[in-house]
């Protein structure tokens, strides 16, 4: 993140509505921008690149000398953004950024982080700036994650995507590799090999992961009996369900419910030693250091 964003200068969140279109820019300074089009359409000129964004799409923009957004004339456009100043960038990082898709669909994760950033407003204080900057870094990282997933799906064979989708939607049913392969039109051997290559595990392992994750969700969100959850998720019996929940989550189904899914930290669960040196020096000196650090942060983020 710090390789291309000058995080010391902070982030800004904003939103605007163009009832009949309009133009924003050109900007001449160097910026990194996550631009989200909620409604309408935009044509973005970023240096020598032009990107067209439709409704519910977003793009990562990093300009060196020119950035301008044109919103479709005669059309209502609702747009929001997270903006920061661009830092120096090495060529390997630049190449990775250029390899990203030019635009992706807006995910719920990105939309939630953006809304949280906007709700913070434009005020300035040490804690508020730290929170805003944390959200700024988070939304860019969320975009990179979503873009990478989008690129992975583009490179994943259609048979694997169809098989994975079928499992996601029918995990409670009896599913065999042979039946799954027949549904997507490949041999069982080809499906297992291709699924492992692109998803990382076999179709059967993926099926049990989906079942266990769904069961874990139902344990936390419903009052259903453990046996009912097991059968709803495709398990033959509650004992198999309980064993797999314990293996994957470190807690039995009853413990998951009792602890609301919370797992004990390693120092408590394993009694691991935890030795801190120099704690006697932590008094006034540590407080003074913290105050100085906060002052530096306020100085670097006071003019959002």
Sheet strand arrangement including 42-46: 22-27, 67-71, 42-46, 49-53
Q: 304 has which bridge partners? A: none
User: What is the C-alpha separation between 233 and 228, in angstroms, rounded?
Assistant: 9
Q: Is the pLDDT of residue 266 over 80?
A: no
Q: Is the pLDDT of residue 304 over 80?
A: no
Query: Tokens 């509650």 — which residue?
Result: 238
pLDDT for 122-154, tens place per residue? 888 889 989 999 999 999 999 988 887 766 666
pLDDT at res. 22:
93
The torsion of the CA quartet 162, 101, 9, 93, rounded to 10 degrees, works out to 100
Domains in the chain (CATH in brackets) are 7-154 (2.60.120.280), 158-266 (1.10.10.60)
DSSP three-state, residue 51: strand
pLDDT for 37-81, tens place per residue? 999 999 999 998 999 999 999 999 988 889 999 998 899 999 999
Lowest-confidence region among 40-49, 69-78, 83-92, 227-236: 83-92
Question: What one-character DSSP code corresponds to residue 80?
Answer: E
């Amino acid at each position: 993140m710090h390789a291309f964003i000058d995080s010391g200068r902070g982030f800004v969140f904003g939103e605007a509505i163009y009832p009949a279109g309009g133009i924003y820019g050109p900007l001449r300074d160097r910026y990194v921008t996550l631009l989200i089009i909620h409604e309408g359409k935009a044509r973005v000129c970023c240096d020598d690149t032009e990107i067209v964004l439709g409704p519910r799409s977003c793009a990562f923009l990093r300009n060196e000398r020119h950035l301008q957004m044109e919103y479709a004339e005669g059309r209502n456009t609702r747009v929001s953004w997270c903006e920061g100043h661009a830092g120096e960038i090495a060529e390997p990082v630049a190449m990775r950024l250029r390899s990203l898709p030019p635009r992706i669909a807006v995910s719920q994760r990105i939309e939630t982080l953006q809304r949280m950033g906007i709700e913070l407003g434009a005020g300035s204080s040490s804690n508020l700036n730290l929170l805003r900057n944390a959200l700024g870094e988070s939304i860019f990282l969320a975009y990179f994650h979503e873009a990478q997933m989008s690129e992975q799906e583009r490179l994943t064979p259609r048979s694997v995507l169809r098989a994975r989708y079928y499992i996601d939607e029918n995990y409670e049913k009896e599913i065999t590799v042979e039946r799954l392969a027949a549904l997507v039109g490949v041999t069982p051997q080809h499906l297992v090999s291709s699924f492992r290559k692109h998803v990382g595990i076999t179709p059967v392992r993926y099926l049990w992961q989906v079942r266990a994750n769904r069961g874990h969700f139902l344990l936390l969100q419903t009052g259903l009996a453990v046996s009912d959850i097991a059968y709803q998720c495709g398990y033959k019996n509650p004992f198999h369900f309980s064993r797999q929940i314990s293996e994957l989550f470190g807690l039995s189904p009853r413990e998951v419910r009792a602890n609301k899914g919370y797992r004990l930290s390693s120092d408590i669960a394993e009694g691991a030693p935890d030795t801190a040196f120099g704690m006697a020096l932590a008094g006034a000196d540590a407080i003074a250091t913290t105050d100085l650090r906060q002052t530096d942060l306020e100085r670097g983020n006071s003019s959002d």
